[in-house]
Each structure stands twice: as C-alpha cells, then as structure tokens.
Amino acid sequence: MGKLIQERDNPIARCAARASSRAMHYLPTCRTACRGSRPSRSMELSSPSSSSNNNSNGSNGAYDQQYSTGQQQQQQQQLQHHQHQHQQQVTDYAQPNRGTQQQAHLTQTIEETTIVEDSREDQLDCMLGNLQANMSRQGVNTVQKGCCNACEKPIVGQVITALGKTWHPEHFTCNHCSQELGTRNFFERDGFPYCEPDYHNLFSPRCAYCNGAILDKCVTALDKTWHTEHFFCAQCGQQFGEDGFHERDGKPYCRNDYFEMFAPKCNGCNRAIMENYISALNSQWHPDCFVCRDCRQPFQGGSFFDHEGLPYCETHYHAKRGSLCAGCSKPITGRCITAMFKKFHPEHFVCAFCLKQLNKGTFKEQKDKPYCHACFDKIFG
C-alpha cells in the first residue's frame, strides 16, 4: 500500500509542473498580444504605481491585470482539481474493507455512548451535591442514613429499618404483591417481607374443613389442620369435649355417634356396646343384658340354656320345653310321669288329698287335680 501511494504522488507533481508550465506559456502569449496593440505601455501597466497616471492607460492596465488574475485562478483551480483526484485515488486504495469500517464505527459509537453516560452521571452527582449543599444551608439535615437494600442508593430523609436492613419507604414492599408496607404489620419468609394477607395465603396452614387460611389457633388432628371452630363431630356437629373424638374413614366423630354408628349392637337391648361385652349365641351382649329371658336374672356359674337363640336359666328353659315337674316346679332330668298334659317326677305324682304316691298308674281327676280312688269316693262319692 505504501508503494502504491508513492506511485500516485508522482502524477500530482507532474500535474503541478504541467499546470505551472502552461501558466508560464499563457502569460507571455497574452502579453505579446497586448504589445502588438499597445507596445509602449505593456510594461508600465504591469506596475501598480503607473495605474493612476492616465484613465485610458489605467483601463488598459486593468484589463491586463484582470486577464492575468483570471489565468492564475484558472491555474489554481486546475491544480486543486488534480490534487483532489489524486487524494480520491489514494483514499480509495488506502481505505479498509467495509467490515473493518463498521467495526471501527461501532467501537467509536460505544466509546461516545460511554462518554455520554459518564458525563450524565457526573452531571447527576453534581446536581445532587448542589442540592445537598442548598438543603444544608437551609437547615435541612441531609446526612446519609444508610443504603437502601432494594435500590442500593443512599437514604436521605425517612428511612425504614427492618430485617436488619435499611430501606427507602417506597422500596419496602411486599415480595408478592409489591404494595408498600409502610408502618403496617408484615411477616418475614426466607429474608423477604410479605404483607399479612399474602403471607397467610401463601404460607399459613389450611383448614381441612373450609380450606381457609388459619390465622390464629389451630387444631392438628388426623394429619390435618383445622380451625378450632371447624373441628367438630361429622355426624351431630358438636365440638369435642374432654372425651375426645373417634376416627372413621378420615372423619372425626364424638363418642356417642361413633359407637351408635359403628360399634357392635347388644343383642339384648339393641344399643351400642361401648365398653366390656359378652359374646354368646353368635352375638354381643352388655354384661347387664345377658340374663334369663324370662326372669331377667343373671346366670349362676356362667351357664345358661339356649332356646330359639335366646338365653334362659334352667328352670325357664324347661318351662319353655314343658319339662318342669308340675308338683315341685323343678326340671325333670330323669324318669317322669306324664298325666293331665303335665309332667311329674314319679315321687311328686301324688293324691291331692292324702298325698300318697299314685304309683299304680290309676287315679281320678277332679278340677285338674289327681286323686286316689278311696279319697275320690269319700270326697266326691
């Protein structure tokens, strides 16, 4: 590139020399033409001092001077034209490619932008300094009270101190809804402030009954949390007392409703069995309900007699089956005598008057009582 520029410099010199030679060639020719018409005054007109002697002579001299000046201007224009052409050619050869030009232009733009931003920051700092000085002169305290945790700018004026940090009042906002907290109550979570509604909606436990946020006391039961007023029996709706609650299918029930709905029923009274019970005859019984079906007496020794799925004592069991002695009203377990549609122990089948055993097999009956033949004849003969 340097060699090419050096070769381009020679035409400029040649053009300049050529233009100067032309000028030198034109001037004598013009002066010669002037000598032919005014031979005696051509040299005098070239001198400035002789132009004021004669009007006619001055006009001729002015003509020669204007002509010479016009030629010089033309020569200078030609010289400038050749120099401009040479500069254009040299510039075209010396220019970098377009990518380099764009990169250089981008670098220059970035540098100019950086300079502008730096100047703006300097201007802002200057304005803040002047403002602080003016406020100090007016008696307003402008001492820096810390750096805002949100914008990292100094705090002058009102300041909020919370969570071990300082804030501009307008920058101390809820981390969820971005509303200013000001002097309102706020809650902290992972180092961030939250307004009360957002904190409860986001982080407070939920009631298993109404799904609302629990703001105050809560009950924890069945692996869930509840409002105290919403933890009640799923059947009757009454809140639980000292007896506590019973669970069935994930729902709480009071003691009475739980046993009424899910506890086994007593076969004697058909009520729920809540405590101890007796299992007999394929059923469950309250201890007080497992008694003889007729006399309602508890069984002695734990033994009972079953008749049609119900418990009976021995006496009433035989009475139901017709196996009681009609004389002593006790069960007949061995030999028996059947008479008058009744059963008797052999020793208890006697005459109603003389009380002798009727063992011969014959007797007389009167008003559902047995008599021997002798007593019957005496009484009714």
- The string of pLDDT tens digits covering residues 157-173 is 788 888 888 989 999 99
Phi-psi region of 18 (alpha: psi -120 to 50; beta: other; left: phi over 0): alpha
- 350 strand-pairing partners: 357
Look up residue 192 and give its two tokens: 């961030």
Name the token pair of 137: 């002169």
Please return the burial class of 26, using the count of CB atoms within 10 Å of its CB with bins 0-12, 13-18 and 19+: middle
Q: What are phi and psi of 155, to 5 degrees?
A: -110, 120
Least confident of 73-77, 215-219, 283-287: 73-77
User: Residue 268: enclosing H or E segment and its boundaries?
Assistant: none
Q: How many CA atoms lie within 13 A of 244 on its CB side?
A: 4
pTM above 0.95, yes or no: no
Q: Residue 49: what pLDDT?
A: 35
Q: Indicate the pLDDT class of residue 109, thresholds 50, 70 and 90.
A: low
Q: What is the pLDDT of residues 28-73, one digit of tens each?
A: 333 333 333 333 333 332 333 333 333 334 434 434 444 455 556 6
Mean pLDDT of 215-219: 87
Q: Average pLDDT in the 72-82 region?
A: 60
Report percent pLDDT > 70 for the chain.
66
CA-to-CA distance for 24 and 86, rounded, in angstroms? Answer: 23
pLDDT band for 225, please (50, 70, 90 cuts). very high
**What residues contact 351, with CB distance under 8 A and at least 6 apart?**
358, 363, 370, 371, 372, 375
